[in-house]
């Protein structure tokens, strides 16, 4: 079960979290989700802030630890 902080994320922020954790670039995420690179950056910044994380590596660890993505 995702932790309570995850529940604070918007559906689009969750999308950006998952795609970021899978290693996609800002440009790749923007293309995949049909949003601008600036929007991806804004969503990623909001995710990091809401989850009290400091970089994409920590975000990836968070996503794997909580079963939001599988890197296998």
- In which band, very low, low, confident or very high, does the pLDDT at 2 lie, cut at 50, 70 and 90? low
The number of C-alpha atoms within 13 Å of 58 and in the hemisphere containing its C-beta is 11
The pLDDT value given to residue 29: 98
Q: What is the reported pLDDT for 3?
A: 74
**Residue of 53, 52, 63 whose CA lies nearest to 24:** 63
> What average pLDDT does range 21-46 have in this prediction?
97
Determine the pLDDT at residue 34.
Answer: 98
Position with higher pLDDT, 71 vs 11? 11
């Amino acid at each position: 079960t995702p932790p309570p902080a995850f529940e604070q994320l918007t559906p689009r922020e969750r999308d950006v979290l998952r795609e970021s954790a899978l290693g996609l670039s800002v440009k790749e995420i923007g293309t995949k989700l049909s949003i601008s690179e600036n929007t991806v950056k804004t969503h990623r910044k909001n995710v990091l802030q809401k989850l009290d994380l400091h970089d994409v590596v920590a975000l990836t660890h968070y996503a794997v630890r909580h079963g939001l993505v599988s890197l296998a």
